[in-house]
Amino acid sequence: MDYKLITEREYEQMMQKLTEIESVVKDKMDPLKKIFTNEDFCSLMGISKRTCQHWRDQKWIEFSQVSNKIFYTWDQIEAFLEKHKVDV
């Protein structure tokens, strides 16, 4: 295996390009057809796995479970957000 040394500047440029590519890819995805894993949902909402489990236990959000994996659809996430919307 060969190793390549890069400067900090080159590394930052590479990371910026990867971030731009990620942004383009995300823009191309249809969120209405995307299935979110539990990890995706936690990241999207900025919550811990325990909080997510609590929300499921309270039946605040619908989900699907296959074996020990939890999945959410965009519609389920949107319905959850609508149910917890605060009018000001």
* Domain residue ranges of the chain, discontinuous segments joined by +: 31-88
Band (42; pLDDT cuts 50, 70, 90): very high
Indicate the angle between helix axes 49-57 and 38-45, nearest 10 degrees: 100
pLDDT at position 30 is 67
**CA 55/CA 38 separation, integer angstroms:** 12
pLDDT at position 33 is 67
pLDDT at position 32 is 62
Mean per-residue pLDDT over the chain, rounded: 90
H helix and E strand count, the chain = 4, 3
pLDDT at position 31 is 60
- Mean pLDDT value of segment 65-78: 94
Determine the straight-line distance between the first and last CA of the chain, rounded to whole angstroms. Answer: 59
CATH 1.10.101 at 31-88, yes or no: no
pLDDT at position 69 is 96
pLDDT at position 15 is 94
Band (79; pLDDT cuts 50, 70, 90): very high
